[in-house]
Amino acid sequence: MKKKYSFLTATLLSVGLLLGACGSDDSTGGEVADPDEPGTEAEAPEDFRTDLQMGTGSTGGTYFPLGQEMATVMQNNVEVEGFNVSAVASGASLENLGNIASGEFQLGMTVHIPALDAYNGANEFEEGGAITNFGFMGHIYPEVMQVVTTANTGITSIAELEGKRVAIGPPGSGTQAAAKLILAAYGLEDGDYEAFEEGFGDAAGRLQDGQLDASFGLLGLPAGNITELALQREVVILPVEGEALAYVEENSDYAHLEIPADSYDFLDAPVDTVTAYAILVGSTNQISEELGYEIVKGLYENADQVTHAQGIHLTKENILNGSEGLPLHPGAERYFEEAGLLE
């Protein structure tokens, strides 16, 4: 049964109302942003705290288990009185950004492209308005779009998903935004396929049981859920290629990536797809510069304590990947400067 959600619309509307309210209340002391710059709302009032909530993603995806480990590393290495951070399952990118805007989350994992859209008030954030009370805090890992089906479906192209049962990712996720863009590149709009709005973990189970025909997932490479699925079914990764690939590159910040054949045992040849960056962002009105500095330092200087496969990307060499076009959290910026990472 196809799931229907109104969460994102409600979230973005509430974000717009919240930011609008901040803009109309002179008592907040917020400064009105330059209307020619990204974000036109007043800044949110400072409400610095040390007990933090970090939005991750669905429990079956990469964000949640990786985010739990990241939170543990922070917890063990940030020596600030009263500091506590909890990793929270969520709908991922858009929901995390919206909840930072509303003050429900203070940290969030997100694809860098929705973060750019949030800051510029574009695409999904156009109606609700720009979100400007967050800053980039570091690169997490490269996210690779993997469009998965099984050999028994007979599907060999994304164009053949018309009329099929397709998991496009949770509402408010970077996966869903990217999935819809890719499907549109192949001429498929809402209603041309039966959409299931769920995380890749649940979708993998449905693929195995024959309840889905395909699933989109912005995942690390290799993805454990795909490796596990391949033990039960003959897995096929559908390529994003040709004119459709060009369309995606022209209409987004996603970049072409070739999945190497040795990424999975079942691949016989490389597969064309698109990639983006998973990044960590933090509230600028609820996380002080000092705490932001300690969080970034504590996480990235002790990233070897992360055992998740994608933890290998949490390095100083990668730390600025995905930051272009985004504001830096003041604490993160201080750390980057101290580490000699900013020119």
Residue intervals of the chain classified under CATH 3.40.190.10 are 7-140+278-338, 143-276
Nearest of 25, 16, 22, 27 to residue 44 by alpha carbon: 22
Rounded Cα distance between 86 and 53, Å, is: 5
Q: What angle do CA 248, 95, 196 make, to 5 degrees?
A: 65
**Length in residues, the chain:** 343
**Joined tokens for residue 267:** 């691949």
Question: For residue 155, which amino acid is it?
Answer: I
- From first to last of its 343 residues, the chain has per-residue pLDDT tens of 333 333 343 444 344 433 333 333 322 223 333 434 444 445 678 999 999 999 999 887 889 999 999 999 999 999 999 999 999 999 899 999 999 999 999 999 999 999 999 999 998 899 999 999 999 999 999 999 999 999 999 999 999 999 999 999 988 788 999 999 999 999 999 999 999 999 898 999 999 999 999 999 999 899 989 999 999 999 999 999 999 999 999 999 999 999 999 999 999 999 999 999 999 999 999 999 999 999 999 999 999 999 999 999 999 999 999 999 999 999 999 999 999 999 7
Q: Is residue 170 reached through a cis peptide bond, with omega within 30 degrees of 0 on the bond before it?
A: no
Write down the residue that tokens 């203070």 correspond to.
Answer: 106
Cα 21 → chain centroid = 27
Alpha helices in 230-328 (DSSP H): 242-250, 289-300
- Token readout for 107 is 């940290």
Which residue type is seen at 337?
Answer: E
- Cα-based distances in Å from 291 to 32, 71, 84, 284: 25, 14, 11, 11
Predicted pLDDT of residue 59? 85
- List Cβ neighbours of 188 (8 Å cut-off, separation of 6 or more): 158, 159, 161, 162
Determine the pLDDT at residue 83. Answer: 98
Neighbours of 318 (CB within 10 A): 18
Residue (of 269, 220, 200) closest to 60 by Cα position:
200
Supply 341's token pair.
């990472």
Q: Which pLDDT score, from 0 to 100, does residue 3 have? A: 34
- Cβ atoms 114, 143 nearer than 8 A: no
Residue with tokens 């709009």: 189
Cα–Cα dist 82/24, whole Å: 33
Candidates 3.40.50.880, 3.60.120.10, 3.40.190.10, 3.30.230.10; CATH matching 7-140+278-338: 3.40.190.10
pLDDT at 261: 96
Contacts of 121 (CB under 8 A, 6+ apart): 38, 39, 40, 129, 130, 131
Other CB atoms within 10 A of residue 4 CB: 8
**CA–CA distance from 156 to each of 153, 228, 232 (Å)?**
9, 21, 19
What kind of fold does domain 143-276 have according to CATH?
Answer: D-Maltodextrin-Binding Protein; domain 2 (3.40.190)
Q: Which stretch of DSSP H or E encloses residue 331?
A: helix 330-338
